[in-house]
Structure 1
Amino acid sequence: MLLKSTLKLLNNPVNRLLINRINSFNYGTVTSSINLDFLKRDKTSKAMKAYLERAQQHDEFMKTQNEEFKIGKRHLANMMGEDPVIYEDQEKIDEAISYLMPSALYDKRARPMMKPPEKIFPERKAAEFDETGRAHHFLFYTSKPNFFQLLYDAVEHLNGLNKFEDNMTRQQKSVDPALRLELSGSEWINQDQLELKLVENIQPVEYRYFVNVMNRLIEHPYSFRVKDFIDIYRRPLMNQTIILDIPKPHIDKDGKSFITVYECLRKKARGDVTVRFPGSGKILINGQDVTYFEYDQSREQILFPLIFTEMLDKVDIEANVEGGGPSGQAGAIRWGIAMGLRSFVDADVVEKMRYAGLLQRDYRRRERKKPGQEGARRKFTWKKR
């Protein structure tokens, strides 16, 4: 029996390899010092190793960006002549950026900004598998688990509402009309915003699937029970406020339509502008024509809204302005003309005017002098002796 058990041990390839390793050592070597690393296996998968490397690179990148952001806040405090401590608040940072670098661009993404790196750079997915490479999420192999998880949750809510409706029907109870969802002032988030929320890239056809499923959910009579889930993917309609506030023109004694824009401001200039339609292109500024302004740049500012909307020879302009210099007066009149032309052009042209920055009031002012220096930015000349 002992011979048979010995032969079985020798026939095992792992045991033979171990015996050969032991025999390769000197006889006096202690057996406990034998290196058995060849019997150990690295349980970490290649996918997990690649993820850990990418995560380490991303952490180092974000660490560098956070350090640069802190340095930028100190520089911003020095330019504003204030204590860096108060610039821990994002509102203070936005106010300083808008003061130092004003912009009349309508799209906020095109304006200068300074925000924490976490709000600028997109989020990264966390590990979705363990050290052995086994996926945690049950929809991992769909390649878009967050998107399909969203569809799954929407269907689960819909099934729950159907069950609740069946129970109410058996109890002969009807839904209260006052509890119905009112979503007239909002819309579904667009595809880009949905991708940021899910941290996944989706196709247009998949976005349509999302809209269709969510529309079915809000059409349910008891959809108010899942209002919190629906509000996550809705955004308010704020872009149409300027269009809705367009005043209707008045009629003068000659039968012409006119609109008067008051409080036309630019720097220290104050004025009002009247736009009459139809007209022949006549422009009066304090009783004079465009030669009221000596420089061509100021005249171009006056004519730009009329040329942009192709209304140069179709309306008459009457402007009264006082205070400030030629640049400020021209800017005030330009804004008044643009706001008055909204009543005589269609909505598409108004939208183009807004993108061109014609409807944005310019609030810039002369920067104040700072104590301890010669001017707003200029410093005193340093002399060693």
Structure 2
Amino acid sequence: MTSLLNGVRRTNSLIPLLKQMKITFSTETVQAAPLAVNTQKVSKAMKAYLERAQEHDNFMKAQTIEFQIGKRHLANIMGADPENFTQEDIDEAIEYLFPSGLFDKKARPMMKAPEEIFPSRKAAEFDETGRPFHSMFYTGKPNFFQLLHNIVAEIRKAQYIEDKMIQRGRLPAETDRLDMTGFAWLSKTDLEKILVETISDLEYNNFLNTMNRLAAQPAAFKCREFALQYAKPLIDQSKISEIPKPQFDENGKQFITTYECLRKTARADVTIRFPGTGKVTINKDHDITYFKHVQSREQVLFPMIFINQLGKFDVEANVEGGGVSGQAGAIRWGIAMGLRSFVDSDVIEDMRVAGLLTRDYRRRERKKPGQEGARRKYTWKKR
């Protein structure tokens, strides 16, 4: 009993002290002062850095939306499906709607994705507390070393597949290897654009060695999609390989026949023979005088004049439909396409830049209702 009373006296003596600490007791709940949260201030430099990164991201998003809208409008103009409208279709549509005779390709009108026009920039690498997002940030070149890490992961993946094939009693065949014929690894400059980082020659050599090691794996065919991200096709060689080889006629002369030569509503097929004397036969019964105007005759002979081989080929053409300009343009395109089989790659590239190998899809523009012609309007009279 005595110990119980002593305990009550001690409790009563603590009440004034607890009141001074602003702690109150009730029969239902216990109330205490709220805990203070320490908020860390963000430095001005870090805040400006994050704002710049956010502005760039918003700018690229807006440009991407505008590009998608423009692509959809362009597809509707060309009567194509906007969902399946590729970059090649965009280039052809721009070339058709805005034909340009400028020699430099960079000066011609174009429509590309924002990622190809605006230089790449690194996204925000820190959070508000200053901690880097990337686990390899302190290597100095996180994107490059992440790429090497991904290549090694693909190598291990190919080795794992090879082991599984051997366990099943099947050895990897030569066809299972990664065939990079017609492709070359990205150059140092192109790789730096993708990584948005500057790398040294030694680091670039390390990249080449690891990619070659990946391609040499017996089961590297499973990594083809990854490898092609860092390889580019040899465009010149692929285009040259598509050029048909000349055939030989009964007289031992080489000849090439080009079918489906189109220009407006004219259709033609053109055969050129080498060596020749410069003879031009049109529809079996006519020579170059088939065209009454000098301009049309020059159009037909221009491909041979351009490569300085006038008088060394014989031309046989069958043409129908269209008018004088359309028939001359169809024959000219057929001659230019046939000459590829007799000249070297440098001359072919010059012909391509000059526009001789580009098919002209232009058509007569339709008349519009409410006006006199396609563009011509009726005379406006105020009274």
Q: How does 1:128-139 map to 2 (within 5 A)?
A: 128-139=125-136
Q: For residue 278 of structure 1, what is the aligned residue in structure 2?
A: 275
Q: For residue 55 of structure 1, what is the aligned residue in structure 2?
A: 53
> Relative contact order, CA 8 A, sep 6+: which one is greater?
1
- The gaps in structure 2 that reach 5 residues or longer are 1-38
- The gaps in structure 1 that reach 5 residues or longer are 1-39
**Could you tell me how far 1:212 is from its partner in structure 2?**
2.2
**Could you tell me how far 1:199 is from its partner in structure 2?**
3.5
Q: For residue 43 of structure 2, what is the aligned residue in structure 1?
A: 44
Q: 1:255 aligns with which of 249, 252, 258?
A: 252
Q: How does 1:58-73 map to 2 (within 5 A)?
A: 58-59=56-57, 61-62=59-60, 65=63
Asked if 1:91 is matched to 2:85, the reply is yes
**For the Cα contact (< 8 Å) 2:270–2:315, is it kept in 1?**
yes
**For the Cα contact (< 8 Å) 1:279–1:313, is it kept in 2?**
yes
**For the Cα contact (< 8 Å) 1:106–1:354, is it kept in 2?**
no
**How many residues matched?**
341
Per-residue CA distance 1:71-117 (angstroms, 9 max, x = gap): 86798699x599xxx99657299376455235799999776444554
Q: How does 1:199-348 map to 2 (within 5 A)?
A: 199-202=196-199, 206-224=203-221, 226-234=223-231, 242-285=239-282, 287=285, 289-348=287-346
**For the Cα contact (< 8 Å) 2:174–2:218, is it kept in 1?**
no
Evaluate the alpha carbon distance shift between residue 175 and residue 225 of structure 1 in structure 2; reply closer, same or farther with a 3 A threshold. farther
Distance 2:71 2:257 in 1: 44
Asked if 1:150 is matched to 2:147, the reply is yes
Q: For residue 177 of structure 2, what is the aligned residue in structure 1?
A: 181
What is the TM-score with the length of structure 1 in the denominator? Answer: 0.68
Distance 2:217 2:73 in 1: 55
Cα RMSD after superposing both structures: 4.5
Q: For residue 123 of structure 2, what is the aligned residue in structure 1?
A: 126
Distance 1:154 1:362 in 2: 45
Distance 1:74 1:346 in 2: 40
Distance 2:266 2:164 in 1: 69
**For the Cα contact (< 8 Å) 2:75–2:82, is it kept in 1?**
no
Percentage identity across paired residues of the two chains: 60
Evaluate the alpha carbon distance shift between residue 235 and residue 372 of structure 1 in structure 2; reply closer, same or farther with a 3 A threshold. farther
Evaluate the alpha carbon distance shift between residue 203 and residue 241 of structure 1 in structure 2; reply closer, same or farther with a 3 A threshold. same
Q: Quick one: which amino acid aligns to residue 282 of structure 1? A: K
Distance 1:338 1:230 in 2: 37
**Could you tell me how far 1:216 is from its partner in structure 2?**
0.6
Per-residue CA distance 1:25-70 (angstroms, 9 max, x = gap): xxxxxxxxxxxxxxx9844263x34423432543564476468668
Evaluate the alpha carbon distance shift between residue 294 and residue 204 of structure 1 in structure 2; reply closer, same or farther with a 3 A threshold. farther
**Could you tell me how far 1:148 is from its partner in structure 2?**
2.0
Higher mean C-alpha deviation, range 375-384 or range 68-77: 68-77
Q: Secondary structure at the match of 1:321?
A: strand
Q: Quick one: which amino acid aligns to residue 315 of structure 1? A: F
Evaluate the alpha carbon distance shift between residue 140 and residue 63 of structure 1 in structure 2; reply closer, same or farther with a 3 A threshold. closer
Q: Quick one: which amino acid aligns to residue 130 of structure 1? A: D
Distance 2:61 2:73 in 1: 19
Q: 1:190 aligns with which of 182, 186, 192?
A: 186
